[in-house]
Amino acid sequence: MFLDTYKKEWLLSRFGEAVKFDEPMSMHTSFRVGGPAKVFARPESFDDLLLLVSWIRENKIPYFVLGGGTNLLVKDKGVDAVLISLGDCLKKISIGETGKSRVIVNAGAGVETRSLCSFAIKNSLEGMNFALGIPGTIGGGIVMNAGTAIGSIAHVLHGVSILGQRGEVKTIPAKDIKSGYRGLTFLRGRIDSSVEKIIILAASFSLAPGNHAKIKDEAGMIIARRKKKQPTDLPSAGCFFKNPGPDTSAARIIDQAGLKGLKKGGAMVSPKHANFIININNASAADILALSKDVQDRVENRFNIKLVPEVIIVEE
């Protein structure tokens, strides 16, 4: 237990309403499940974020940065840590260096991915349409290397700004960033993300000038396709498992194992998309975990393939 009265008072005096105690994470995740965060902070400016993070690091307090909470499963017991949401800060998008064949667009980590997609369409810029329909923020999108069959963040990333251990802002060009399937694995030669907990502040994207009508039409088709294939009207965290290989889709093998519609408590394998676990009736994190374990076991028995969660499980 890291939070004593003195620390609580300090947080309240510095951040007021932007800090909450024992805040249910079901209110801040797309799964709509999750127990309380000991401290939930939504800094309203970069300076507030800096102050909070230096205090946390100085006091060696456990922390976790949250984007839109769309790829997280917080356990029912909650988290004895400071959860920092960037939902209220770092939300600026701007156009940077502009050339004939390339336009750099800068976005804060708190910008919603869909806002960046809309910005690109509005400014007739090609490159972001792959991300249409991916919820969450730019920070989360980078950490997860969010993407679909037609592209991922790594394909358009130009650089990332992160908050260094001493509060300094470091900008890392894309060539020094190694991104893997659904994850940024490490920042080559500069920082090892498994050693230093990275806080992403902003990123720049390399897009290309294009034809407005063509980009808009393509966007319409991508959104329509997603709506047809995914249960976007029910709480979930998107695809629960990673695809086991480039040619093996997790959704396909879960479907082939006959698991669509399988239920545990309030959680169900979506009948529309087999790799979506959906919260149909006040599911608990335990329901979702039990269902995901059942899916893993049945798929392993049938195909000898161990499914690995794409969703990040947040626990004490």
Ligand X SMILES: Cc1cc2nc3c(=O)[nH]c(=O)nc-3n(C[C@H](O)[C@H](O)[C@H](O)COP(=O)(O)OP(=O)(O)OC[C@H]3O[C@@H](n4cnc5c(N)ncnc54)[C@H](O)[C@@H]3O)c2cc1C
Burial class of residue 57 in the structure, from the number of CB atoms within 10 Å of its CB (0-12 exposed, 13-18 middle, 19+ buried): middle
Exposure string of 179-189, with b = 16+ CB inside 10 Å and e = fewer, is beebbbebbee
- Tell me the β-bridge partners of 267: 264, 279
Cα–Cα distance for residue pair 265/69, rounded to 1 Å: 22
CB of 100 to ligand X, least distance (A): 31
> Closest CB to ligand X among 159 and 238?
238
> Closest CB to ligand X among 105 and 237?
237
Catalytic residue among 57, 102, 182, 302: 182
Q: Are 279 and 235 in contact (CB under 8 A)?
A: yes
For the question of residue 126 being annotated catalytic, the response is no
For the question of residue 239 being annotated catalytic, the response is yes
> Closest CB to ligand X among 2 and 64?
64
Nearest to 76 by CA among 15, 31, 46, 109: 31
Q: Which spans of this chain sit near ligand X (rule: CB under 6 A)?
A: 30, 64-72, 86, 109, 134-137, 139-141, 143-144, 146-148, 198-200, 232, 236-238, 312
CB of 94 to ligand X, least distance (A): 18
Catalytic residue among 32, 112, 117, 239: 239
> Closest CB to ligand X among 18 and 198?
198
CB of 65 to ligand X, least distance (A): 4
Work out whether strand 183-187 and strand 125-126 pair parallel, antiparallel, or are unpaired. Answer: unpaired
Cα–Cα distance for residue pair 294/235, rounded to 1 Å: 20
CB of 145 to ligand X, least distance (A): 7
For the question of residue 166 being annotated catalytic, the response is no
State both tokens at 2.
């890291």
Could you give the residue numbers annotated as active site?
182, 239, 310
